[in-house]
Amino acid sequence: MKLKSLIILTLLISFQQLYSQENYKSLSKEDSTKTYLGGPKYDVKTYTQKFKTQKPRNVIMMIGDGMGVSAIFAGLTANGGHLFLDNFKQVGFSKTQSSDNYITDSAAGGTALSAGQKTYNGAIGVNAKGVAIKTVLEMAEEKGLATGLVSTSAITHATPASYIAHQASRGSYEDIAADFLKTDIDVFIGGGYKHFSDRKDKRDLTKELQQKGYQVLRNMDEIAQVKTGKLAGLTADEHNDIAIKRKMNLPLSTETALNILDQNKKGFFIMVEGSQIDWGGHQNDTRYVIIEMLDFDQAIGKALEFAAKDGETLIIVTADHETGGMAIVGGDMKTGMVKGAFTSGEHTAVMVPVFAYGPGSENFTGIMENTDIPKKIMKLLNF
């Protein structure tokens, strides 16, 4: 009898598992991308709110491309109610409109955040008249600070490009890559290898980078071992893969870059981008948004770990715009289930949050223009 009931029980359990699996499979394709069923969670540490100085020596600028409040809250729910972002006590909102459009793209949005001027959609480091404008990263370089860029897209893509290149059009990837050689940036990690190596003008920029003293590496394990010197980490031919598949590791890349840049005692400026939150939004894919959001938040965790220990580092986390008009129409803080809904396949006009941690963070509250963010950073760094 005992054996019989055990068999029945086993059958029941397997039937239930089969049934729930079927249930999952039976979700229409559309539903399956709208609903995240829950996944791995990580612990969120609490960091000190006491800092050594009034003004920062180092600035870590972190941009979640397309990261609106819903993307953040989707990630927060998926991770059981907490994100590393919880450590940011100074919060504001940024208006993202570009000079020629109510809805910005990532180039105009990136340029507003890098150089403090509104420009037209598609513009990389140039103003509305097409004239090159100096970015906070270039100013940092001029003042002898170390500089860096880390991105999960190609390093030549709009957001990182806006900090270092000056081109009329965001699609000029090979020209953007060539602009890296005009600078003394210390560390960059992202995709875009082919824009440096396989070019119409036949220049091999990877060789030119080596001649300038860069370690040009393509493998994440090798990149993570670099402790000093100049580093060009080109982890994909074009864009890095999605978070669960990519060879590039954003938290590890962030940590690696910070440790190299920290050797400059004058300080540093770095921009770290979670690029693909935007792509999840464009695809109206809740799971894609969440997986990228959690990856970006874990990179924020690495920045916090550094800044809390250092005490002279300001971290700003914001977005260039919202993507997908995302809303959250269901969820469960315990399981991490999130049901998303979208009103657009494009960017939207809504304000995006600004989070600040560290010395000077009190300057980043209230409603501001996106262009105010780099202006405040420049002021705090005495540029």
Per the residue annotation, which of 70, 94, 98, 106 is the catalytic one?
A: 106
Using CB under 5 A, count the residues that bind Zn ion: 1
Quick one: 138 or 278, whose CB is closer to Zn ion? 278
Find out whether 274 and 299 touch, Cβ atoms under 8 Å. yes
Which of the stretches 34-42, 96-104, 197-205, 272-280 binds Zn ion when contact is defined by CB under 5 A? 272-280
Find out whether 104 and 321 touch, Cβ atoms under 8 Å. yes
All residues at 6 or more sequence positions from 335 whose CB lies less than 8 Å from its CB, including other chains:
37, 38
Find out whether 198 and 206 touch, Cβ atoms under 8 Å. no
Which partner from the list Zn ion, Mg ion, none does 138 bind, CB cut-off 5 to 8 Å by kind? none
Q: How far is the CB of 16 from Zn ion (least distance, A)?
A: 41
Quick one: 163 or 196, whose CB is closer to Zn ion? 163
3-state helix, strand, coil in the chain (%, to 5): 40, 20, 40
Q: Which of 37, 8, 42 lies closest to 299, judged by CA?
A: 42
DSSP 66: T
Which partner from the list Zn ion, Mg ion, none does 159 bind, CB cut-off 5 to 8 Å by kind? Mg ion
- Which three-class secondary structure state does DSSP give residue 214? strand
Find out whether 129 and 151 touch, Cβ atoms under 8 Å. no
Query: Does the protein bind Zn ion through residue 278 (CB under 5 A)?
Result: yes
Quick one: 240 or 363, whose CB is closer to Mg ion? 240
Q: How far is the CB of 366 from Zn ion (least distance, A)?
A: 26
Which partner from the list Zn ion, Mg ion, none does 90 bind, CB cut-off 5 to 8 Å by kind? none
Q: How far is the CB of 278 from Zn ion (least distance, A)?
A: 4
Query: Does the protein bind Zn ion through residue 322 (CB under 5 A)?
Result: no
Query: Does the protein bind Zn ion through residue 320 (CB under 5 A)?
Result: no
The span from the CA of 314 to the CA of 303, in Å, is 10
Which partner from the list Zn ion, Mg ion, none does 186 bind, CB cut-off 5 to 8 Å by kind? none
Which partner from the list Zn ion, Mg ion, none does 167 bind, CB cut-off 5 to 8 Å by kind? none
Find out whether 337 and 330 touch, Cβ atoms under 8 Å. yes
Shortest-Cβ-distance residue relative to Zn ion? 278
- Strand segments (E) across the chain: 35-36, 58-64, 90-95, 146-154, 187-191, 214-217, 230-234, 268-274, 313-318, 322-323, 327-332, 337-341, 347-348, 352-357, 366-369
Annotation marks residue 153 as catalytic: no
Which partner from the list Zn ion, Mg ion, none does 372 bind, CB cut-off 5 to 8 Å by kind? none
Quick one: 156 or 313, whose CB is closer to Zn ion? 156
Q: Which two tokens stand for residue 280?
A: 């999840």
For Mg ion, the binding residues (CB under 5 A) are 65, 106, 159, 275
Q: How far is the CB of 81 from Zn ion (least distance, A)?
A: 28
Q: How far is the CB of 223 from Zn ion (least distance, A)?
A: 26
All residues at 6 or more sequence positions from 279 whose CB lies less than 8 Å from its CB, including other chains:
66, 288, 292
Query: Does the protein bind Zn ion through residue 292 (CB under 5 A)?
Result: no
- Strand segments (E) across 200-346: 214-217, 230-234, 268-274, 313-318, 322-323, 327-332, 337-341
Shortest-Cβ-distance residue relative to Mg ion? 159
The span from the CA of 184 to the CA of 138, in Å, is 9
Q: How far is the CB of 176 from Mg ion (least distance, A)?
A: 13
Which partner from the list Mg ion, Zn ion, none does 275 bind, CB cut-off 5 to 8 Å by kind? Mg ion
Q: How far is the CB of 379 from Mg ion (least distance, A)?
A: 26
Quick one: 65 or 372, whose CB is closer to Mg ion? 65
* Cα–chain center distance at 212: 28
* Interface residue list for Zn ion (CB under 5 A): 278
| Active site positions, annotated | 106
